[in-house]
Structure 1
Amino acid sequence: MPKQGKTSPRRLTKSQTGNALLLEIAWEVLNQVGGIYTVIRSKVPTVVPKWGENYCLLGPYMPSNVAAEFEPIEGEPTDAIGRAVQRMRDNGYTVHYGVWLVSGRPKVVLFDLGSVMHRLGEIKYLLWEHHSISTPGDDHLLNDVLAFGEMVKIFLSELAAEVKGSKEILAHFHEWMAASGLPDLRREQVPVKTIFTTHATLLGRYLAMNDPQFYDHLPFVDWQKEARHFNIESNVMLERAAAHGAHVFSTVSEVTAAECRQLLGRNPDVILPNGINNQRFEALHEFQNLHLENKNKIHSFTMSHFFSSYTFDLDKTLYFFTSGRYEFLNKGYDLTLEALARLNHRLKTEKSDITVVMFFITKRPYYSINPEILHSRALLEEFRHTIDAIKKQVGERLLFDAVNHKDTKLPELNKFVDDYWKLRFRRTLQSWKSDNLPPVITHNLHDDATDDILNFLRRSNLVNNEEDPVKVVYHPDFINYTNPLFSMEYGQFVRGCHLGVFPSYYEPWGYTPLECIASGVPTVTSDLAGFGDYVQEQVPDHDRRGIYLVKRNQKSFDEAAGNLANKMYNYVRLSRRDRIDLRNRTEASSTLFDWSNLVKYYDQAYLKALKMDQ
């Protein structure tokens, strides 16, 4: 398909949104599992003002997830959506109708999957009878997906009967887990216009994780053979049925469009890039101050982690980070590590006085936080308390001494400190100091011996030696305020860093670079990531905006690693003033990716669907 044009697509008119109902259907509505939750939640504040009461989200009812974010709509239904919910309730289904308590406060319908579980055998039989898709009996997630799809199909049928053609109905399905009922909507000719978006093909993710030459081999993949190999044939067939059954088929990037053509057998009709809600990150003129404030919090971690073994100049320390699911190849962790080793060698050879601390933030099974790290942090805090007590004592006694002497000379301050505090100062400092190297990992992993990141660090001897300018902190848990090592939210951590590094090999879109940009943090992406491909096509001056692109498409690993190492090295060489200017330009660029600009592509998909016959 042709590249997304730079001319603006047509927008929906007020008349068109007033005469249609838009239902967005996703497994991750009020159910945070992965990136689609972020897509939908961040988009809602832009969609609701445009569609008003004609917009609603559909999702599965997960009792443990909805307590804090769902508010039921009580009383007699006054709108078509509410009346369709009541029709289902009258037929014995358990359906919850209310408001999602997030920005925009969208209406939401949640289906209790237990309502149709007694019909699961019939649902599976009809799926085979009508669409030749067989499903295993012991796959509990797939059973839930089929139950959800059936309830969505029933609801949309009831809604169509309720409006009786007075309004168009647009049903936008996100991913295969929401769309198992879509093929039957078309088969039964329910008057609903359907849009199906795959955010990442199911088979593509499996293949990329297991094939370092995924893109080279993609044109020759036998989808059915590979789906059987990974034991996901039923899931992939549901995805293909949804892609072929929808009036409009879409995906999030040109990168993923190539997968769709080969693995799903249909060319996407439209590309729907993912945006970000900048209001969530907005700090106006304060974002530079926030960077300094949060950088100082990271400094506190750095001191407790490294300074018991050796010290370096915090004023000449840069914080780089990467984060996301633990997919060593897909997320480009392998490339990042290789580039860090090359950067370390180059800086060491040049005797650079800059220190780079690289954080890997991901999720891995672990037993506990390393007790030595907690002990070091506790001792540093004790040392702070001791210093505060000494400061207070010296301050009080210095004032008293100064007003009682005519001499204006500064006295020997040591004489104002009690022996108790002197001894405590020495003992605490002595207890804190260590001859061991600072650990590269903060937690005790279940599979320490087979972990790819740790094994690379060991092989390359990138283990936080004092003479190495590049240090590594591998944190196998996501950061939040309750985290005892950082005591800050993930967004604060991002703001405190200098550079985000995300050179993904397989990434249908990629939100982490977007979050960096919105926080005024320069970022690295790759041309194999959907976001990187979009930037390459739509933002020609991306380097100047602090959005660096590593070329991985049709490049060897060695070439890509060298390219990434050069980009990191060039950033290290920037002066403090240059880094401040770059942060300003990066933060200003966030408006390019705001949903208020990118929602126009969704309008294009809906306009295309509205023009289609049943």
Structure 2
Amino acid sequence: MAVDEIIKPDYLFEVSWEVCNKIGGIFTVISTKAGTIKKELDDNYIVIGPDVWMETHTNPYFEEDQLLYRAWRMQATSEGLKVRVGRFKDGKGAVAILVDFTSLFPQKDKILAHLWEKFGLDSITGGWDYVEPLLFGYAAGKVIESFYEYEVFPQQKLVTHCHEWMSGGAILYLKENLPQIATVFTTHATVLGRSMSGHGWPLYRNLEYYNPEAVARELGLVAKFSLEKTAALNADILATVSDISAAEARKFFGRDVDYVTPNGFDISLIPDSDFENQRVEARKILINTAKTLLGQEIRDDAFFVITSGRYEFHNKGLDALIDALGYLNKNYKGDRQIIAWLMVPFINTGPNPILKNRLEGKEPITPTENEFLTHNLYEPEQDQILSAIKKNQITNSGQSRIKVIFVPAYLNHLDGIFNKSYYELLLGCDLSVFPSYYEPWGYTPLESIAYKVPTITTSLSGFGQWVLQHYESQEDIVRVLTRKEDNYEEFYQAIAATILEYTEKSAEELRLIGDKANAMARDFVWENMIEHYWIAYSTAIDKAMARSDLFRPRRTIEHPIEIAEKAEAPWRKILVDPGIPARLEGLVRLSKNLWWSWNNEAIELFSSIDEKLW
């Protein structure tokens, strides 16, 4: 589609369970993309998420603004919709609407029954982990409808972009109730694909032979899969983030994917200046933490390997990385220390008290073995990462050159040990490893090269495939290792060999590679990738316009005005009852309170604030 043929929406609603709710990669997609779209649409770009923090009022990603769309918000409240309106802090201040969908709980059975009758949505086996996201999406659809009725002119073009099955309810609600709104549904990771991979099923080799409905029943995913597939079939546009996820979608949904919309990157997050000083500072923190935890000397030239992301042991390749480190632990003959940082958030009890006390000088630092955690787990004996470390006989002893440190905490400046962000610590590492088996895109390796850290990824990740398709000789920046269902041992040994290869590079070689990596990352900035989205939105608008005969009239709130038939009217004596609403009675009391005009202390107070204005 030519640039001059693209029709951009007047309003764009982006709906996701991860709006102002940091869980995984979709939060990063939306938050980093928001600035680029906001430049085009300003406050007509609106993100919608669940108000999961409503009982605490301390959502760190949302700042409420009582004046923003105030009149509509009051109208929505009168319609029984509970919303908070404000700004998405991590999303360049984009308008954010958080939806309290709990008011739909009493109507749950009625809504589910209606969606079964209307769309064949099979919710009968769905638990609350299905019902809540469904009701959120449904409520989001009602919110968009209310906003359309109150704020939008009939001729304006609207697009609603929903991410993954959790927001599928919005697609279904709008399909039935507001056909003039164009819809886009993006599946980042399919329900079945993620679960099958996590269970060790050979997803790619046998993809064409699976029966999706049978697989959903066997894995207990009937309701979630039904919502995902139904949303995909009823959206104007079906999109995925990579060719590898497009193949899944075609098989599981029985519909061709309209567009592949690869993820971009917000380069403004990367420090332009003082980069080396920040790297030095990050290395000092990592060295000191390792030294304090292990009670061992950590040399300045220690080679730092890092991985991060969602805790999916097999899907993210954590098993392969730990086996690679175990292989090195048995075969590495070099002198340089190799320390692997597994920055994978998981439920934890808080900072490791021994480490924290040592860092604060409350306990002496003494040598330890079999110490791996910066933050303690509730059931460490059941943890897959710790079990794999033990299986590979990695002990973190003083004699071993291979050490592994597990950081199961969100690094948001408040973790109690590092008190830095993940990106601030990433700067101090030498190589990142993301050996995923299931990775529809893969933000983490892209983030890594942006921060001048070369990376290892796989041929089964969307990002890895993109690199193989678009770059010929960037192996020193992004090493894409071939991963298959039947080459596991060869694969993890290739990881070990690549780590070893990079440990032998000089500091200057790594610096030059880092500079080239940062330059390569700039190819993926949202300014370069956003066109894929505009094209998808434009096509969705075309499809919506083609069904204009189905558009329903826009409901309006009428305010009748009586006009006198004669210019002259008889004079009558009347008594006026002001009828002030109860919520405004305080203004009446305030209007009659003139104590500040005669009370000397009050006069001094107001005068001290601004004498000239007073």
TM-score (norm 2): 0.81
Correspondence 1:339 to 2:329: no
Correspondence 1:91 to 2:74: no
Alpha-carbon distance in structure 2 between the residues aligned to 1:272 and 1:248: 11
Cα shift at 1:102: 4.1
Deviations 1:560-594 (A, max 9, x none): 11221221111111011101111111122221121
Instruction: Return the letter of the residue paired with 1:534.
Output: W
Alpha-carbon distance in structure 2 between the residues aligned to 1:256 and 1:450: 31
| Structure 2 portions without partners, runs of 5+ | 548-614
Superposition RMSD in Å: 2.7
Cα shift at 1:49: 0.5
For 1:386, the equivalent position in structure 2 comes to none
Correspondence 1:529 to 2:461: yes
Contact 1:320 1:357 (8 Å CA) reproduced: yes
Cα shift at 1:512: 1.6
Alpha-carbon distance in structure 1 between the residues aligned to 2:178 and 2:346: 46
Contact 1:12 1:607 (8 Å CA) reproduced: no
Q: Identical aligned pairs, as a percentage?
A: 28
Alpha-carbon distance in structure 1 between the residues aligned to 2:59 and 2:204: 43
Alpha-carbon distance in structure 2 between the residues aligned to 1:45 and 1:136: 40
Instruction: Return the letter of the residue paired with 1:224.
Output: E
For 1:600, the equivalent position in structure 2 comes to 531
Contact 2:31 2:92 (8 Å CA) reproduced: no
Cα shift at 1:86: 5.6
Correspondence 1:548 to 2:470: no
Contact 2:69 2:85 (8 Å CA) reproduced: no
Instruction: Return the letter of the residue paired with 2:326.
Output: A
> Which shifted more, 532-541 or 339-348?
339-348
For 2:314, the equivalent position in structure 1 comes to 329
> Which shifted more, 478-487 or 503-512?
478-487
Cα shift at 1:517: 1.7
For 2:265, the equivalent position in structure 1 comes to 276
Deviations 1:130-171 (A, max 9, x none): 122232488334333333233333344445556464112111
Alpha-carbon distance in structure 2 between the residues aligned to 1:363 and 1:479: 8
For 2:379, the equivalent position in structure 1 comes to 447
Deviations 1:398-431 (A, max 9, x none): xxxxxxxxxxxxxxxxxxxxxxxxxxxxxxxxx6
Q: Count how many residue pairs are aligned between Structure 1 and Structure 2.
A: 541
**Residue from 63, 67, 71 that aligns with 2:64:** 71
**Residue from 236, 239, 242 that aligns with 2:225:** 236
Cα shift at 1:433: 4.2
Contact 1:356 1:470 (8 Å CA) reproduced: yes
**Residue from 254, 270, 280 that aligns with 1:292:** 280
**Residue from 571, 574, 594 that aligns with 2:502:** 571
Instruction: Return the letter of the residue paired with 2:135.
Output: A
Correspondence 1:315 to 2:300: yes
**Residue from 169, 172, 175 that aligns with 2:164:** 175
> Which shifted more, 109-118 or 490-499?
109-118
Alpha-carbon distance in structure 2 between the residues aligned to 1:556 and 1:332: 13
Please state which structure has a larger fraction of its residues in helix: 1
> Which shifted more, 237-246 or 66-75?
66-75
Alpha-carbon distance in structure 1 between the residues aligned to 2:178 and 2:347: 48
Deviations 1:509-555 (A, max 9, x none): 222212212211111111111222222212333324x2221211465
Cα shift at 1:372: 4.5
Cα shift at 1:346: 4.0
Alpha-carbon distance in structure 1 between the residues aligned to 2:26 and 2:421: 21
**Residue from 23, 44, 54 that aligns with 1:33:** 23
Structure with higher RCO (Cα < 8 A, 6+ apart): 1
Contact 1:170 1:192 (8 Å CA) reproduced: yes
Q: 1:189 to 1:371 in 2, by over 3 A?
A: closer
Deviations 1:256-313 (A, max 9, x none): 11211222222211111112211122x224212211121111121122233x3x535x
Alpha-carbon distance in structure 2 between the residues aligned to 1:455 and 1:152: 42
Contact 2:138 2:173 (8 Å CA) reproduced: no
Contact 1:208 1:330 (8 Å CA) reproduced: yes
Instruction: Return the letter of the residue paired with 1:319.
Output: F
| Structure 1 portions without partners, runs of 5+ | 1-8, 383-430
Correspondence 1:209 to 2:195: no
Q: 1:65 to 1:609 in 2, by over 3 A?
A: farther
Correspondence 1:558 to 2:481: no
> Which shifted more, 56-65 or 314-323?
56-65
Alpha-carbon distance in structure 2 between the residues aligned to 1:65 and 1:599: 33
Secondary structure at 2:474 match in 1:
coil
Alpha-carbon distance in structure 2 between the residues aligned to 1:604 and 1:330: 31
Secondary structure at 2:394 match in 1:
coil
Alpha-carbon distance in structure 1 between the residues aligned to 2:327 and 2:68: 65
Alpha-carbon distance in structure 1 between the residues aligned to 2:406 and 2:159: 45
Equivalent residues in 2 for 1:129-528, closer than 5 Å: 129-136=117-124, 139-159=127-147, 161=149, 163=152, 165-188=154-177, 190-281=179-270, 283-306=271-294, 308=295, 310-311=296-297, 314-348=299-333, 352-367=334-349, 369-374=351-356, 376-378=358-360, 432-434=365-367, 436-437=368-369, 439-528=371-460
Secondary structure at 1:194 match in 2:
strand
For 2:581, the equivalent position in structure 1 comes to none
Instruction: Return the letter of the residue paired with 1:354.
Output: R
**Residue from 540, 553, 558 that aligns with 1:609:** 540
Alpha-carbon distance in structure 1 between the residues aligned to 2:446 and 2:527: 15
Alpha-carbon distance in structure 2 between the residues aligned to 1:526 and 1:342: 19
Instruction: Return the letter of the residue paired with 1:276.
Output: F
Alpha-carbon distance in structure 2 between the residues aligned to 1:12 and 1:54: 21
Q: 1:311 to 1:203 in 2, by over 3 A?
A: same
Cα shift at 1:205: 1.2
Alpha-carbon distance in structure 2 between the residues aligned to 1:465 and 1:155: 57
Alpha-carbon distance in structure 2 between the residues aligned to 1:526 and 1:584: 22
Secondary structure at 1:524 match in 2:
strand
Instruction: Return the letter of the residue paired with 2:17.
Output: W
Secondary structure at 1:42 match in 2:
helix
Q: 1:338 to 1:608 in 2, by over 3 A?
A: same
For 2:584, the equivalent position in structure 1 comes to none
Secondary structure at 1:237 match in 2:
helix
For 1:105, the equivalent position in structure 2 comes to 93
For 2:114, the equivalent position in structure 1 comes to 126
Q: 1:508 to 1:12 in 2, by over 3 A?
A: farther
